[in-house]
Amino acid sequence: MALPDGPESLSNPATEWLHNLEHALESENAAALTELFLETSYWRDAAALTWDVRQSHGREAVVDDLLSVVGTLRPSGFRLDESKPAPALTGQAPDQKVEIFFTFETSVARCSGHVLAEQDESAPTGLRAFTLFTRIEELREFPWSKGHPRGHGYETDDDKQNWLDVRSAHQAYEDRSPEVLIVGGGHSGLIAAAHFARLGVDALIVDKNERVGDNWRKRYHTLALHNPVEMNHLPYLPFPDNFPQYIPKDKLANWLEAYAESLDLNFWTSTEFLGGSFDDEAGLWNVTVRRGDGSTRELQPKHVILATGGVGGLPRVPELAGLSDFTGPVMHSSKFTGGESFAGKKAIVVGVGTSAHDISHDLYNNGAEVTMLQRSPLVVTSLDSANLAYDSYWLTDDPADLIDYRVAAGGIYPLTISASQGYQRYIAELDRPLHESLEKAGMVLTEGEDKTGWLLKFFREGGGYYLNIGTSEVIAAGGIKIRQSSDVRRFVKNGVELNDGSVLEADVVILATGYQNRNSELAGLFGQDLAERIGKIGGFDDVGELANASKPTAQRGLWFMIGSMQQCRVSSLPLVLQVKAELEGLVPDAMAHPAQHRGHSLETVN
């Protein structure tokens, strides 16, 4: 079947393709479903049909996995999404695809979808799908609220109480436990809480810091975001137009504090989460938190969300030969607040990742003599090259939520690998002069595992790369020295002894060695058995999704949010809708918190 010419003509075959998809799913007809997909095709679901975030690779897997779940939620009403762009060609010849946005419903939810299809005259509708993405958008019986009620914004039977009285009493939780306890009040915890507030879910954030935003405010003096402001908006309250392109830490910290206040998010500062256990019979957690005055509270939430950092909340402190013999101060990068007190001192920074670069540059700017000790090869990318990965956020007129949607639809592991390799080949050539200058200065560089560059380093490890904002030029000019760990024999009382017997003197050692995986944190909070049952957190799992991130885990009622502001903005909506659905008893037991991943596994996922 040949498609007629003209962009408007694509709506008819797209509508017919959706009609055939609905009919094939309704009748559970594998042959008819197979006709709709290319042999090399993919499906990614964000809780619309699986109550999970997962993906299937290859037409046979796509068909099998769709048929394995379709009978539970009975999807219907497939139609073009009039709120998004009409079907149109996208990409460059000869790899152009037809992009289709659509909506549909299940027995419990309103959902959306996205298709990239190839034109194929032999197909019944003239189209065969290359990728299919489905996402939950709203629970039918529990829709998103439209905002605060008008009037005073509070209700009370006591004429002497004002809004602050009611608000303070609500946040005290003296007469109840929250339905959801969010541990960690950075951007990921705030984003989740903002969504829960709109769903009418009673959620409480606890954070050990004294003020909202202190997770940024207390970090080193010169810290700023390394990606542009357009990428980092939080839901419901975008940054004002006067915000700088790369937001300084203190401005971001103050914004997070204002965000929590403006959206009336329940937040306990100066509160440490001590851990707990899950009561299977009652379906509740029994957890303990320590307040700022030293008192403890026992809470019984139904769900706990750990949102305590991008990779993990516990510093990684490696065992370095002789380090205990060093007589000067030794600190982890998490304790570094600025280089002013090290003027004229000699500093060794262990590590060469982003924090190591930023700290070294700050020390250098404050007059310290700095040597970075490199322990493993590093991916270095200029900031301009790095930001090409997300240039649609500021080079197009598309709204951020539409770009977010396309990012989610494209999060298919084999395609991510292929795209990242192509992107890395392109920017490696752009950055060749930068790399040559760094290698001349003694730095060992890499293009990352399977030559996928910094972006996959971020997803897999949360580190191992540096986006250059100026430190590379200082290194190339010799202002900051590079030494390889293979040159070092051991630490001694006044520095490090090199293999030739000489001593590289130091007054201070800063360990920019990153953070432990969340699993280490988990064992300390809930016990080793639960940690082993959960498995790794972050990196890619056996179906190509981020392991245990924003999706059901092997422990009922336990969830994790990880990643950048852009990542959490994309992944948070399916997570909170899954939690709300479980609170309302909408998720079948067989589909809630599987002991292991469902669906077809990948053989090569790292």
DSSP string, 383-398: HHHHHGGGTHHHHS-S
Q: Give the model's confidence band at 95: pLDDT under 50 very low, under 70 low, under 90 confident, else very high.
A: confident
What's the domain range around 18? 7-139
Indicate the helix (H) or strand (E) that contains 278. strand 272-279
The pLDDT, as a whole number, for residue 605 is 41
Out of 158-167, 275-284, 423-432, 443-452, least confident range: 158-167
Say whether 182 sits in a helix, a strand or coil.
strand
Q: Is residue 456 domain-resident?
A: yes
Scanning the structure block, which residue is given the tokens 């829709």? Answer: 143
Residues 133 and 269 in one domain: no
Average pLDDT of the chain to the nearest whole number: 91
Which of residues 468, 487, 511 is at a domain's end?
Answer: 511
166: left (phi over 0), alpha (psi -120 to 50) or beta: alpha
pLDDT at residue number 334: 86
191 and 308 together in one domain: yes
pLDDT in tens, 534-563: 998 888 998 999 999 999 999 999 999 988
Kindly state whether residues 434 and 338 are assigned to the same domain: yes
Of 450, 481, 511, which residue is a domain's last? 511
485/576 same-domain check: no
Range list of H helices, 162-213:
163-172, 187-199
Neighbouring C-beta atoms of residue 256, cutoff 10 Å: 22
CB distance 265 to 190 below 8 Å = yes
Q: Is 4 exposed, middle or buried (0-12, 13-18, 19+ CB in 10 A)?
A: exposed
**Are 76 and 127 in a shared domain?**
yes
Query: Quick one: which H or E segment has residue 56?
Result: strand 53-57
Of 101, 36, 100, 28, nearest in space to 66 by CA: 28
The residues that bridge with 332 in the sheet, in sequence order, are 511
Residues 355, 502: one domain? yes
Is residue 371 assigned to a domain?
A: yes
479, 511, 543 - which closes a domain: 511
Interval 391-421: pLDDT, tens: 888 888 899 999 999 999 999 999 999 999 9
Q: At what angle are helices 413-430 and 432-440 packed, to 10 degrees?
A: 70
58 domain-assigned: yes
- Residues 11 and 101 occupy one common structural domain: yes
Q: Token digits for 513?
A: 């060695």
Q: Give the mean pLDDT of 230-248.
A: 93
What CATH number should be reported for the domain holding residue 83?
A: 3.10.450.50
Q: Is the pLDDT of residue 152 over 60?
A: no
The C-alpha atoms of residue 445 and residue 383 are separated, in whole angstroms, by: 16
Please tell me whether the overall predicted TM-score, pTM, comes out greater than 0.85 for this model. Answer: yes
**596: confidence class by pLDDT, cuts 50, 70, 90:** very low
Specify if 559 maps to a domain.
yes
- β-bridge partners, 53: 46
> Tens digit of pLDDT for each residue in 378-389?
999 999 999 898
Q: What is the pLDDT of residue 598?
A: 46
- State the CATH number of the domain containing residue 544: 3.50.50.60
pLDDT one-digit tens code per residue, 55-77:
999 999 999 999 999 888 999 99
Residue 167 lies in a domain: no
Cα 43 to Cα 65, 136, 443, 571: the distances in Å are 9, 14, 41, 17
Q: From the centroid of its chain, how far is CA 358?
A: 22
The pLDDT of residue 603 is above 90: no
Strands 284-290 and 488-492: what pairing? unpaired
Q: What is the pLDDT of residue 597?
A: 44
Integer angstrom CA distances of residue 89 from 5, 86, 251: 11, 10, 41
Q: Is the pLDDT of residue 107 over 60?
A: yes
Higher pLDDT, 523 or 19: 19
Q: What is the mean pLDDT of residues 579-605?
A: 71
Query: Do 534 and 496 share a structural domain?
Result: no
**CA nearest 317: which of 513, 519, 490?**
513
Tell me, yes or no, whether 605 lies in a domain. no
* pLDDT value for 308: 84
Q: Would you state the structure tokens that stand for residue 212, as one six-digit string?
A: 């909202």
Residue with tokens 């092997």: 554
165 is a domain residue: no
Residue 164 lies in a domain: no
Give, in degrees to the nearest 5, the angle at Cα 70 between 69 and 76: 150
| Pairing label, strands 76-80, 558-560 | unpaired
pLDDT band at 517; cut points 50, 70, 90 = confident
**pLDDT tens, position by position, 13-51:** 999 999 999 999 999 999 999 999 999 999 999 999 999
Identify the band that residue 85 occupies on the pLDDT scale cut at 50, 70 and 90: very high
Show contacts of 315-318: CB within 8 Å, 24+ apart: 315/511, 315/513, 315/514, 315/515, 315/516, 316/513, 316/514, 316/515, 316/516, 317/511, 317/513, 318/350, 318/511, 318/513
Tell me the H-state helices in 463-587: 471-476, 518-526, 528-534, 565-583
Q: Are residues 289 and 394 in the same domain?
A: no
**Domain count within the chain:** 3
Amino acid at 557: G
Q: 551 near 591, Cβ under 8 Å?
A: no
Model pLDDT, residue 594? 64
* Whether residue 476 is found in the same domain as residue 524: no
Rounded Cα distance, 256 and 452, in Å? 33
Residues 497 and 360 placed together within one structural domain of the fold: yes
- E strand or H helix at 159: none
Residues 233-253 have a mean pLDDT of: 94
Residues 188 and 126 in one domain: no
pLDDT surpasses 60 at 199 = yes
